[in-house]
Structure 1
Amino acid sequence: MSQPSPYFDNLPTRINKGDRTAGMAFGKHIHWGYWENPQSATGTLEDFAGAAEALSAKMVEIAQISDNQTILDVGCGFGGTISYLNDHFDYLKLTGINIDGEQIKRARELVKPKGNNSIDFINANACAIPLDSLEGDRLLAVECIFAFPSRLEFFQEAYRLLKPGGKLTICDFLPVPWFAGIWQYWENKLNPRIATTYGTAKSSNPVFSFISLSQYQELAQKTGFKLATVVDITKNTLPTYPIVNRIMREANPNSTIFNTTEGLAIISRFGWMGYLILDFVKE
């Protein structure tokens, strides 16, 4: 039996063909959900869509975004976080970056500037952003840095594009220290399976490249950033997994690709893999 195409690689096609589930769950945001009270999660697509919006809102809160700022959202997907910023703030210069041209096309169709905001979407690699020194106030990367070609090169780009005192705010899956070595050992073995579910922007890159908090601290020091804030929201994201597993089963009922998400759910529930928001300041 041939392996099904990666679900997330084909999202634009699924949505354009009228796939209601894909459109409701991932038509605006392509990331996990955030529930302030995880027990309140209902398991519906509508609830998940609201939680995905809430994750963007949480990122914006921690990044301390306000009016009259220049914001760059790298790995912007369909522009969901740009849309949130456009709805809630004024006098923003917003730029979304994504390596997937189809996702950028949809973002341009969906998100139009409101009030005194300006919006631009650019099809580009996160580690080679075709912008001059942006003098940006804030740079966001919402649940995407693990798929970038190099965290080091991305942090260097962020440093180049931010003004002194500017902030880089990311959310990522972080293994606890003792599990980090185990994960890295198994990473190459697991990535082909992961790719069947989530796809990969570039075949030569690992699909999921996870590093520990101490490695992030070392990366920050190496690139001129200070890790200012760490917020563990693992428990707030756990209701995502049953929903995404159900979506995977419905999309490919004869496949076992949903096991990838279930595996991530298990190690997250056991506390071996965290979901954290990290806020860095350019020194």
Structure 2
Amino acid sequence: MAVKDIQLPYFDLLLAQLDQGNARLELAFGRHVHWGYWPQVPQGVVSPADFAWAAENLTREVYGAAGMENGQRVLDVGCGLGGTIASLNENFSGVELIGLNIDPRQLIRAQEKVKARSGNLIHFTEGNACWLPFPGQFFEVVLAVECIFHFPQRRKFFEEASRVLKPGGRLALSDFVPRAFLLPLAALSKRWPFSKGFFGRCNLQCTIAQYRSLAKDTGFKLRVEKDITENTLPTYPFLRAMGTELNIRDPSAKFETWIVEWASRLRLLRYLVLSFEKLR
């Protein structure tokens, strides 16, 4: 998939607003661009500062599932604006951190904002998650925080992650995982106009059984399966409030968010943190 084929209107809006100095958006999304995780679910709409705190929590949930340690070489695939790399840099020492993204605009901002602490190394690289530009057995950890549903193929990404991980290395990710009986409805989403809407092309069609099978086929074993759906639900009223504040009129923005929210509230769609160990 070429860069010109990537259509992510929400990132177009976000980057434009950040360039214009939108302080509230900078606070909420200037570091992490993903859902939040609240250990204790609050009532009402949270503030941008609280959302930023929760988004940091979610990042830590994912790399915590990978068993992060000092001295490791880590690849963050779909690194966005560099938030996960920044968090790892702040909390670990002697690490080499590489952020990969297919969108050069995001990488430019990440390079500007994230600087390595003494003893750590940070690189940002443009590339495709399904064709990783790294040698075999190069990393101890590969992360994909809330981005795998944008990749052209989950299987190809798993194959590439297995190739670049050392034996015993960990792949950790977060994803929206449907119940099996929801798959026929999820498949229909490819045909409606919103399949290329505000959040770009998303494939929310990988069940946990399919993840287990995919892991087995690509040399992994599932080690962590954590359902944090309830802890992410305050994200939705916050997104609605920000959408109103920004006067977002794209109908797909509201419709797609509404579908995911209610599928999550009804437990038809689960937000899972998954970690896999490379066996060979």
Match of 1:264 in 2: 260
Q: Which amino acid aligns with 2:199?
A: Y
Q: 1:121 to 1:134 in 2, by over 3 A?
A: farther
Displacement of 1:42 after TM fit? 5.2
The residue identity in structure 1 corresponding to 2:233 is L
**C-alpha displacement at 1:260, in angstroms?**
1.6
* 8 A contact 2:198–2:250 mirrored in 1: no
Equivalent pair of 1:12/1:106 in contact (CA under 8 Å): no
**Helix, strand or coil at the partner of 1:38:** coil
Unaligned runs of 5+ in 2: 1-7
Match of 1:14 in 2: 17
Displacement after TM superposition at 1:194 (Å): 5.0
Identify which range, 221-230 or 163-172, moves more after superposition.
Answer: 221-230
Q: Once the 2 structures are TM-superposed, how far is the Cα of residue 195 of structure 1 from its aligned partner?
A: 3.2
Q: Secondary structure at the match of 1:278?
A: strand
Indicate the residue corresponding to 1:73 in structure 2: 76
Matched, 1:198 2:190: no
Does the 8 Å CA contact 2:171/2:276 hold for their aligned counterparts? yes
Q: Does 1:141 align with 2:144?
A: yes
Superposed CA deviations along residues 130-150 of structure 1, whole A, max 9, x for unmatched, are 112252111000000000011
CA distance in 2, matches of 1:68, 1:87: 13
* Secondary structure of 1:246 counterpart: helix
Q: Is the 8 A contact 2:178 2:204 kept in 1?
A: no
CA contact (8 A) 1:173 1:274 kept: yes
Which residue matches 2:163?
160
Determine if contact 1:43/1:239 at 8 Å carries over to the other structure. Answer: yes
* Matched-pair contact (CA < 8 Å) for 2:176–2:204: no
How far 1:51 sits from its partner (Å)?
A: 0.3
State the Cα distance separating 1:209 from its structure 2 match.
3.8
Equivalent residue, structure 2, for 1:202:
none
| CA-CA distance at 1:207 after TM superposition | 2.6
Deviation at residue 36 of structure 1 after TM alignment? 0.5
How far the C-alpha of 1:84 sits from its partner, in A, is 0.3
Counterpart check, 1:215 vs 2:210: yes
Matches within 5 A, 1:87-236: 87-184=90-187, 186-190=188-192, 192-193=193-194, 195-199=196-200, 206-236=201-231
Asked whether the equivalents of residues 31 and 143 of structure 1 are also in contact (C-alpha less than 8 Å), the reply is yes
CA positional deviation for 1:198: 1.4
Q: Displacement of 1:253 after TM fit?
A: 4.8
Partner of 1:203: none
One-letter amino acid of the counterpart of residue 234, structure 2: P
Report % sequence identity: 41
Could you tell me which runs of 5 or more consecutive residues in structure 1 were left unpaired when the two chains were aligned. 200-205
**Farther-moved stretch of structure 1 (39-48 vs 61-70):** 39-48
User: Secondary structure in 2 aligned to 1:33?
Assistant: coil
Instruction: State the secondary structure of the residue aligned to 1:39.
Output: coil
Query: TM-score, normalised on structure 1?
Result: 0.91
In 2, the alpha carbon distance for the partners of 1:173 and 1:233 equals: 10
- 1:147, 1:209 within 8 Å by CA — same for their partners in 2? no
Q: Secondary structure at the match of 1:25?
A: helix
Alpha-carbon distance between aligned partners in 2 of 1:157 and 1:106, rounded to the nearest angstrom = 26
Q: TM-score by structure 2 length? A: 0.92
Runs of 4+ residues deviating >6 angstroms: none
Corresponding pairs, count: 271
SS in 1 for 2:136: coil
CA distance in 2, matches of 1:254, 1:211: 30
Task: Determine the C-alpha separation between the residues in 2 that align with 1:57 and 1:253.
Answer: 30
User: What one-letter code is carried by the residue in structure 1 that aligns with 2:205?
Assistant: F
C-alpha change, 1:33 and 1:196, in structure 2 (3 Å) is same
- RMSD in angstroms over aligned alpha carbons? 1.6
Structure 1 match to 2:36:
33
2:85 maps to what in 1? 82
Matched residues in 2 for 1:76 and 1:41: separation? Answer: 30
